[in-house]
Amino acid sequence: MFKTLGITFLAVCISVTVMSQQTKLYRSTISNDIGMSYVGLGFNIISKRTIDSIGSFELRAKPMWQGSYHFFIKKWFSVGLAVSTQNLSGTIYDFQYKNKDVLEYLDINFGIRRTKFGLCPMFHYGNFPKLDMYSGFNVGYLLTKVTLNAEIPGVRAQDLFSFKIGSRVSMQMMFYGIRYYFTKNFGIHAEIGLGAPFFGSTGIQVRF
């Protein structure tokens, strides 16, 4: 199903872009974005909860950051490189454990860093000097690292261990993106996509 959706989406992008061109070709675009992933949204929705077998816990998610560079091969087609990262964290309060048959409590903190390196082919449409609309893909590798540490009463926080989980190939479909330029070179943009690293983002860009 996902494969069929991807092929259909690609066909629509090509059919639209071959009929449209930008007024002037700027070869390079550098962008800086902030956004939110579905994982981050879930963390913020859950926020604070209490489970009897674990205790109370709190989840936090910072916005995703992404930097990218796109090079226009044709007026209607560009290829880009993107790197993104997002930090998630949480705390489990008063976790119960037995130390030599003595019931003790400690707070456990964890941090999750998601980093993606992606190749981004984009199809551009519209014929406006200050407006660039586009759709495409972000295909790359997603790395996830988890770090745990514990706050032991009377002792400063100690790192327990860190490990990598869920490192995998990742594909995002960029349904729609729009860039608006206040000047010939500087502007803002917004993007909506499905998959890592975000479902929605906004930022600034420079073209030259």
pLDDT of residue 23: 58
Task: Find, among 79, 66, 74, the residue nearest to 205 by Cα.
Answer: 66
Question: Per the omega criterion (within 30 degrees of 0), is the bond before 63 cis?
Answer: no
pLDDT digits (tens, 9 = 90+) for 95-148: 776 677 777 777 888 899 999 999 999 999 977 889 999 999 999 999 999 888
Q: Read off the DSSP letter of residue 153.
A: T
Residue 28 dihedral angles phi and psi, to the nearest 5°: -125, 145
- Say which residues have a Cβ less than 8 Å from residue 202's Cβ, sequence separation at least 6: 33, 34, 35, 188, 189, 190, 191
pLDDT digits (tens, 9 = 90+) for 32-45: 999 999 999 999 88
Q: How far apart are CA 136 and CA 127, in angstroms?
A: 18
**pLDDT confidence band for 155 (50 / 70 / 90):** low
The lowest-confidence range among 2-16, 49-63, 88-102 is: 2-16
Look-up of token digits 């980093």: 115
Q: What is this structure's pTM?
A: 0.80
Both structure tokens of 44: 């913020």
Strand, coil or helix: what is 119? Answer: strand
The lowest-confidence range among 20-24, 26-30, 91-95, 146-150 is: 20-24
Residue-range domains of the chain with CATH: 2-207 (2.40.160.20)
pLDDT digits (tens, 9 = 90+) for 180-203: 999 999 999 999 999 999 999 999
